[in-house]
A and B are shown apart, each in its own frame.
Chain A
Amino acid sequence: MEEATTPIEPSAAATEVGAAGTDAHAEAAAAHAPHGHHGPPTGFIRKYIFSIDHKVIGIQYLLLAIFAAFTGMFMSVLMRLNLTWPGHKWTILETIFPLGAPGGVMTPEFYLSLVTMHGTMMVFFVLTTAPQGGFGNYFLPIQVGAEDMAFPVLNMLSFWVTLVGLLVLISAIFVEGSTIVGNTDFVNNFLGGGGTGTLGPIGGWTGYPPLSALGKVAGPGQGAGATLWITSIAIFCIASLLGALNFITTLLNMRTRGMSLMRMPLTCWSWFTTAILALLAFPVLLAAGVLLLLDRHAGTSFFIPGGLVFNDVVQAHKGGSPILWQHLFWFFGHPEVYIAILPGMGATSHILSTFARKPVFGYRAMVFAMFAIGLLGFFVWGHHMFISGMDPRTSIAFSVLTLSIGVPSAIKTFNWLGTLWGAKIRFTVPMMFAIGFVSLFVAGGITGLVLGQTSLDLFIHDGYFVLAHFHLVMGVAAIFGMFAGVYFWFPKMFGRMMSERLGQLHFWPTFIGVYCIFVPMHIMGIVGMPRRYASFQEYDFLRPLDPLVLLVTIAAIVTAAAQFIFLFNFIWSIFKGKRASGNPWEATTLEWVTPTTPPPHDNFGGHLPTVYRGPYEFAVPDAPEDYVMQTTPDAGEGNVAAAGAGQGSGQGVQGSSGNGHNGQH
């Protein structure tokens, strides 16, 4: 056994898991020994506000995401109302948005600002924040057996920077939506002017220039709101970058003894892959965002070509390319799709196995598939741009690569089904959502086969078919992964169970609802309905879709209403839920062996656990229970202090011999 103070040297040993007796110990964990660790904070502010405890930060991220999710959802309901009953007077709307909905009727630019803010809110502050920043922060260190993230202060910083990003985004609503804030000197002189009655910019979350680059000349919602919107995204990029560094370092260097890479829960693999994607993708968006800001405010022309005419006035810009933005944006934007969905895949694998009471089918294939998806994800951004005017030969290469990314996605689906085959499923609420994830991932992902073909994009690009596809797969499926995660980990995070009955009441209408919302949208796309239309009244060919438009809106309202059951359950259970035991689900991984629930400040009470086996040892023949904890030593290791099913007693765990155990089962 190595000395506890041996310098960090994880990778070589850690990856050699094939041979017996090469269990890696993450010396880093020991290097990050209890005495060197920051002690538990005592004051309220250091404990709950400016906390450097990864668990508190995880919860902060989660709460931020829940706030953003409900805001984004509210916006989507407003959009549906406008599409279904155009011109209807919603008196209450006038009270809230006197400029955006004069007389209670939503203006087209108000609608488009809803589109933009909904997308930005959901993609960045929900889908990127909750699965990675929330659950990843809370559980990655615990699941690998570390006391905290590698850089706790950086971790705190990444949350607070994210919050600043969100506040800047929200401020875009006020500078555009109100004449009071929107007409101050600062807004007019430095931000490009506001008060246009929108809720921020109206260029969509993709913000294509020149529309987004020219300022007020391009129409309402392109002034101060757009400036703040880009600034918000740039801030978010920095936060994600900080977070990603932390995740990668923690995972590589701070695994506890015996936690070889191939013994990590699939959740950790998913957070790790996601962090790598974020590390490589966000800087590109950051650069693009800065260039766009320069175009708007410094007179540069990165994305603006010459000879543009607005109201008979030729613009001064020249030499830029609108398509350059699209390349930069989608170079980030496509990996972003996987940043949103990979943690959901990890959580689903983890939860499916736990409640199937069966090991994950093809663990190794799952890991490779995740990496394949991550890697290929960097070479397919062009499929967002087939009809953008870029070289059509390039499109063919992107198209074939895109179709091939379906292969690892299919492998994952097969393996989930394989995990369920021959299982003894316990239908808890997290399991319902995990099964829902698989169903929705298939439903949403499979249409990638249609959209990935250059030829078929000639008709369906930029229409409701795409909208349906990505909402199902990166929106709804990813959110089902989050719900599964919340219901599953809530007992560990708050020490209480969420109500099972309310959880079921939440699941059923949500699952049926999202199908009723998004499957009909594919049909709308096949008929030819274009995206981002404030009204469908102008076109005769869209008339036959009216009944579907109504169906989708009703389903959206019902589904949105059902989310309040979740919100109530979440808040109520924090205070009044049934007390949770240390391992209520009879799961096997390290988050369930912490000495207290919720875990103490340093997670394991000063004694890091030793890991003896892979993460999903369910239904092991001849074992006393139908699950074997990762910390349970093999038979014949009786002298080792029990770190088993329960609450690691500590003594000797650190000192026991972790060597010589083969992690492969």
Chain B
Amino acid sequence: MGRALGVLIWLLTIGSVWLFVNGRWWLPPYISEHGPAYDRQFMITIIVVGLSFAAAQIGLGWAVWRYGARGNRGERAVYSHGNNRLEIIWTAITALIFITLGLMGQRVWAQLHLNEAPAGSTKVHVVAQQFQWNFHYPGADKNFGRTDPNLVKDAELNFVGLDEQDANAKDDQVVTTLAVPVGRPVELTLESKDVTHDLFVPELRYKQDVVPGMAIKMHFTLTKEGRFELACAELCGQLHYKMKSYLIALPANVYDELVAMPQAQFQGRITQLIKEYPLGIRQGAATTAALR
């Protein structure tokens, strides 16, 4: 029985490790500047985790294989209450590894969260609502128009409660797809109309809760063009699983042309871009040029 259990523990260990290393399933390719640093830290951590996991399971399997009672009741186990030196050694080693990992694990976070977005970042307001994403652009004047919850009229497509009387609001655009430029810092301001949502684009390596009553800022810089699925990652009610949009990462000049358009044209152009950009990273500058 013991040997069978030992072998089973080893087999389960091999199977588990195989799932992680077979290459079929992994993080999607990254598209942001902090992507490589994220993936490196993830890989280092997974290697440490994998080695510790395998070592512990192999040890457990070995103990179970090796130290089964062999039917002879006269045999006795080793009479030992432990070994303080061993305790100290393995505690120190584990503490060192874990704390080091913990400190390394703050780098990407600090870079994104402890710094303000660089001056001149492209700004977009994100307004989440039950089961729709709204993206509010400041228009050519680069100033966001005033919004007011009392002005929200979903039926009239005023999802964010934009105040039409406000001069800054005249050229603002609100669409349900997030278009941003590649190679320029982007700052999103996240707000929710109703419950807590979460903005998640796997390729972006960024998840951020969108909390009602707060205006949470997040910033990043994209390095790759393409179209990517944007999901809600915080349970927000009945149709949470359908609260989907796209992030379209455009060449800076295409983006500049887009945001200079008035609302109706902007909307049409976005629809066109969704068709032109297949899902995933868009390869090659030639296609970028063709787009223009």
Contacts and interface: CB of A to CB of B under 8 A. Distances in A.
Nearest to A626: B76
A202 B63 contact: no
B10 to A, nearest CB: 11
Interface string B86-106: 110011001100110111111
Contacts of B76: 357, 424, 619, 621, 626
Contacts of A534: 240-241
Contacts of A420: 60, 63-64, 67
B214 interface: yes
B80 A359 contact: yes
B211 A365 contact: no
Interface in A529-575: 530-536, 538-541, 544-545, 548
A483 interface: no
B45 interface: yes
A453 B102 contact: yes
Contact of A462 (B154, B234, B241): B234
A530 B57 contact: no
Interface string B151-166: 0111100000100000
A421 B49 CA distance: 23
Contacts of B200: 462, 528, 530
Contacts of B69: 357, 424-426
B205 A458 contact: yes
Contacts of B60: 417, 420, 435, 438-439, 442
Interface in A341-397: 356-365, 386-389, 392-393, 395-396
B112 interface: yes
B91 A396 contact: no
Interface stretch (A62-70, A285-293, A320-328, A596-604): A320-328
Contact of A417 (B41, B56, B109): B56
Given A309-B149, A396-B106, A463-B233, A389 B208 contact: yes
B45 A456 contact: yes
A446 interface: yes
B274 interface: no
B64 A435 contact: yes
B57 A310 contact: no
A425 B229 contact: no
Contacts of A362: 81-84, 87
B282 interface: no
Interface residues of A, number: 122
B13 to A, nearest CB: 9
B212 A435 contact: no
B183 interface: no
22 contacts: A112-B235, A309-B161, A312-B152, A322-B211, A356-B67, A358-B80, A362-B84, A362-B87, A389-B216, A399-B106, A418-B86, A423-B63, A426-B69, A455-B108, A456-B105, A459-B38, A523-B19, A526-B25, A526-B26, A534-B241, A539-B231, A619-B79
Enumerate the 8 nearest inter-chain pairs by beta-carbon distance, A residue then B residue, closest first. Answer: A305-B213, A453-B105, A403-B102, A422-B78, A392-B113, A528-B202, A362-B82, A455-B108
Interface of A: 108-109, 112, 202-204, 208, 210-211, 214, 218-222, 305-312, 314, 320-323, 356-365, 386-389, 392-393, 395-396, 399-400, 402-404, 406-407, 410-411, 413-415, 417-418, 420-427, 432, 435, 438-439, 442-443, 446-447, 449-450, 452-459, 461-463, 504, 508, 511-512, 515, 519-520, 522-524, 526-528, 530-536, 538-541, 544-545, 548, 618-621, 626, 665
Interface of B: 1-2, 5, 8-9, 12, 15-16, 19-20, 24-28, 38, 41-42, 45-46, 48-49, 52-53, 56-57, 59-60, 63-64, 67-70, 73, 75-84, 86-87, 90-91, 94-95, 98-99, 101-110, 112-114, 129-130, 149-150, 152-155, 161, 193-196, 198, 200, 202, 205-209, 211-214, 216, 229, 231-242, 244, 279
